[in-house]
Structure 1
Amino acid sequence: MARADREQERAAIARLMALKNAGQLTTEHVRLAAHGVGLSERTVWRRLDKGLSTPSEYQLSETDREAFACYGGNIAAVHRARSASVSGESESQVAGAAVPEFLASGWAGSAQVSLRTLQRAFRRELTPAQLAAWRHGEAGRRAAGVYLTRGPSRRNEVWEMDHKQLPVLVLPPRGPAVCPWLTTVLDDGTRSLIGWAIALTPHTGTVLTAIRMALVYDVARGPYGAVPAAYRIDRGLEFTATAVRDVFAALCVAGHRLPAFQPHRKGKVERLHRTIDQTLLGGLPGYTKGPREAGGRLYGPLDDRAAARARAADAQVAPMRIERFAARFAQWVSWYNTERPHRMLAGRTPLQAWHDDPSALQRIDAASLRHLLLASTERTIGKAGVQFNNFAYVAPELRGRGGQHVIVRYMPHDDRSVEIYLDGAHLCTAYPADQLTAEQQEAFRAHARDEARELGRQRRRATARARVELAPLTGAEPAEQSRLQPTTAPPRTQRRRDEALARKARSDLLGLPSGRTRTSPVSAPEPDDPETRE
């Protein structure tokens, strides 16, 4: 039978002592009490003889506690040092090393205790968290801790966001095999994974990409996509960047930055990451937490050691490409949200929990969220368009802009389109040149024709203006004979202007009338003609 707690023992022994003092104690009483509290009859008789309702127990001293910390939670080492110090030796030693002076002086004059007594005292007076703190550090203390849980929240009310380096090998577009980073946005109320991004290293761009996915409503992804009321993040610099903070501030979303090194404060997203390891990554080749050989090599065809990573791209059996892994992860997200029952949701899937919640959602237009895309780097518009990620992106608005510097904003692992910004303003949405539809190709050519037509119209208009200015200076005939001369003035006023221009045109270089040509007399201006009034 299991031993009862201290209060039951104390109550049983006190009852037996009362019977003994009254002269009514029998062996049957002792046998029943011993069986009830899980002690032997001999132990009960011994305590009755000594008049103890509770056994005498050794109490830890301050020196015992200091020694426990000094020896890293090793109670056997504490006992050896204590025994050597209490024995009165001039130079106490433990395993060939001298006992620290502060411990030897603290134990001076103490009584000897057995190892079992000391072990019971430590287990009785220290909590499991305190014991684990000195044996395994902070991780052990937290493993034995008890934490508060947050109450339920409505759908899309609070987001939890975090990074995680995935323990699986993938091949980037260039370079050795790596373990990619995942940025996740989890809905606190329904445990739905509503936004994510995969990149080689975590940065502000991946955070913005995951946030944009969580904000934009897309029928293909489900009913998700709305503005939350608040979000929780840790101390990661990517989440606290100015760009991320400004986005949420513009949307009037409150942020809660949690203390460092306290993952339990956002335990739901941490549990999601463990679910990813258990249900997805553990079955993929190149899972770095899998079993290993004696030399450290992973079981299976892939090796994650540095030399093997460097030559992975040229190996006969190589890890999957990061683009293919992203597509595989997208399929897993769909399964997790729509098919996997969740214990904390009463067996419902995250999608069912989302539909069961009638809370209103604040949708936002996707067009107004273009600025949330990642601003990757500056590019120069070339003959083939904008070169980015091994694609040449084109758009009608890029015609005639060769040589200009632009900013490309994009969503990782989505090469279908990019957003082009010029001088901080959105210029166009560009598409890969080799993937344009017939309609897009025709729109590109039509834009080119319109541009050429407009440029020709402007060129003809500029030529006409230049001819008007040049005709009276170089022509031998009066300017009124030119068919390009404007005739918006009244006839009489226009005739006087033409005569004045003719006199100027027939002057020599000194400004004197030419002897070969007779100048026409100039009529006096009409007093009612405002055009000729000086």
Structure 2
Amino acid sequence: MLRAQFSAEDRVVLLRRHLDEGVPLTRLAAEAGVPVRTLRRWRARYRDGGTVASLQRTPRSDQGKREVPQELIEAVEGLALRRPAPTVAFIHRRIADIASARGICAPSYSTVRALVAAIDPGLKTLAHQGDSAYRDAFELVYRRSASRPNEQWQADHTLLDIEVIDEKGRTARPWLTVVLDDYSRAAAGYTVFLGAPSAEQTALALHQAIRGKANRDWPIMGLPEMLYSDHGSDFTSTRLNRVCLDTHIRLIHSQHGVPQGRGKIERFYGTITTELLPHLPGYIPHSTRGRPISAAELKLEQLDGILETFIVSEYNQRPHSSTGESPVQRWGASGFIPRMPAHPEDLDLLLLTVATARKVQRDGIQFASTRYVSPVLAAYVGEQVTVRYDPRDVGEIRVYFNDEFLCRAVAPELAAEAITLEQLRGARAHRRRELKQQLRDRRSLADALPNDTRYAPPATLEAPLTPPDRTAAPELPNRLRLRVYETD
């Protein structure tokens, strides 16, 4: 065993055998593989101190320090922070040339590599990748976690990595809009659709999230205190602002171009992409550049049903890795009563944006090749009314007369069916100013270094040949000259 492998306790055990049991030092030295002179030095230190601490190894005074001149360290940092980032081998060659020119001992390759690795990662990211990459990777993020259910909901869209068959038999990639409870991670509502995201699709997802579900295993409902989304046109629409104002929901948008803070809903999308979609026909892995690995077979309605089954039966029921509880249990564990709209019909008017005009007939309202009836309609035969409906539940429609809720009409054959934001911004701005000042200092040092002449061609001693003057007109023979009257 080497001396460096002996701890202070091991040294005490050896010395106690010598002091208490009388074992000679020569025998202990042979058994432990330690020189007798070293054992005598340990014995003297132990007798003076009398404790285990007296046998601790004394750290070197220059531990962690490099005998490299400060000017070379700054030169290494200045070269490493240039864009594009040079290799360590290039930096080592340049530093070796500079040290040789200044009569300084050149640092080794490992020393230069260690100096480059010791540069602040944030400073390197800012130097090589710019402000956006530094912000996304290193700036403080104001992540507010909800303390109770329905305190904050998040809403966002994603383009699913799957192809479905539309009404015309063509393949298309659907979009998914999800409303997620921040506290429990439970999916409160969603909608899947074809075409670009719009305020109508957002309203439908929010409508499903707020209203009670027919599925008893999906109890998430009620009005949230806050709705957090990005700056998409559908989330900043006048309609959604009116919905939040009338239902006393505080609408919050993330900063432009700053995706942090929506990681929980992005993680939900990752779960859908990795755990559900690979098992469906028409799945598009990222490595195939938009090409599905199998032919599309599902229609949009079928994918809608599969998503609801996965959300209700699997995602909302299993324990979440961050909370340790299933989203449904965490949402209802406190036994709170969710805040519901005072007038559900007004919520339908605001959120069910799919509207169409119809005339009340004697047998009810004909809509989508289906007859909808209600006793209230008997007094409005021949009147023009507005019909609003949920595209995913056509078992009933909402009927409005002069923008006032009239009744619900049912289709009989379908009826069975700790730091403030200001402080955070100030800290981020201060940190960025510091890094930019360091970056300017390092780059100025690198610019002040002598030019790289390591492989420059040697200067020639011969004077270059004088190129012929091509501007002067060539001398032509008399027979080729232009004849003028004076020469005739």
Q: What band does the TM-score fall into relative to the shorter chain?
A: 0.5 to 0.7
CA contact (8 A) 2:96 2:106 kept: no
User: Which residue, 188, 206, 209 being the options, matches 2:204?
Assistant: 209
1:407 and 1:229, CA in 2 relative to 1: closer, same or farther beyond 3 A?
A: same
Match of 2:50 in 1: none
Within 5 Å, which residues of 2 pair with 1:44-443? 54-57=65-68, 68=80, 70-76=82-88, 79=91, 82=94, 116-127=110-121, 129-132=122-125, 138=132, 142=136, 147=141, 149-174=143-168, 176-200=170-194, 201-221=196-216, 222-289=218-285, 292=288, 298=291, 300-302=293-295, 318-336=296-314, 338-346=316-324, 348-364=325-341, 366-376=344-354, 378=356, 388=368, 391-392=369-370, 394-395=372-373, 397=377, 401=382, 407-421=386-400, 423-426=402-405, 429=408, 435=413
User: Could you give the per-residue CA deviations for residues 140-184 of structure 1, whole angstroms, max 9, x where no partner exists?
Assistant: 874577756544511111111111111111122236322211111
CA contact (8 A) 2:96 2:107 kept: no
CA contact (8 A) 1:373 1:411 kept: no
CA contact (8 A) 2:76 2:116 kept: no
Match of 1:94 in 2: none
User: Could you give the per-residue CA deviations for residues 175-215 of structure 1, whole angstroms, max 9, x where no partner exists?
Assistant: 63222111111111111111111122211011111111121
CA contact (8 A) 1:57 1:121 kept: no
The residue identity in structure 2 corresponding to 1:212 is: H
1:359 and 1:63, CA in 2 relative to 1: closer, same or farther beyond 3 A?
A: farther
Q: Which whole-Å CA distance do the structure 1 matches of 2:356 and 2:75 have between them?
A: 65
CA contact (8 A) 1:157 1:228 kept: yes
1:76 and 1:333, CA in 2 relative to 1: closer, same or farther beyond 3 A?
A: same
Q: Which has the larger radius of gyration?
A: 1
Q: Which whole-Å CA distance do the structure 1 matches of 2:39 and 2:171 have between them?
A: 76
The residue identity in structure 2 corresponding to 1:126 is: D
CA contact (8 A) 1:418 1:430 kept: yes
Q: Which whole-Å CA distance do the structure 2 matches of 1:179 and 1:328 have between them?
A: 16
Q: Which whole-Å CA distance do the structure 2 matches of 1:52 and 1:361 have between them?
A: 62
Q: Which whole-Å CA distance do the structure 1 matches of 2:225 and 2:257 have between them?
A: 25
Q: Which whole-Å CA distance do the structure 1 matches of 2:266 and 2:360 have between them?
A: 45
Q: Which whole-Å CA distance do the structure 1 matches of 2:93 and 2:357 have between them?
A: 70
| Unpaired runs of at least 5, structure 2 | 1-36, 42-57, 417-488
| Unpaired runs of at least 5, structure 1 | 1-25, 31-43, 89-107, 303-317, 439-534
Cα offset, 1:321, TM superposition: 0.3
Q: Which whole-Å CA distance do the structure 1 matches of 2:134 and 2:283 have between them?
A: 26
Cα offset, 1:266, TM superposition: 2.3
1:369 and 1:28, CA in 2 relative to 1: closer, same or farther beyond 3 A?
A: farther
Match of 1:495 in 2: none
1:66 and 1:172, CA in 2 relative to 1: closer, same or farther beyond 3 A?
A: farther
**What percentage of residue pairs aligned between the two structures are identical?**
25
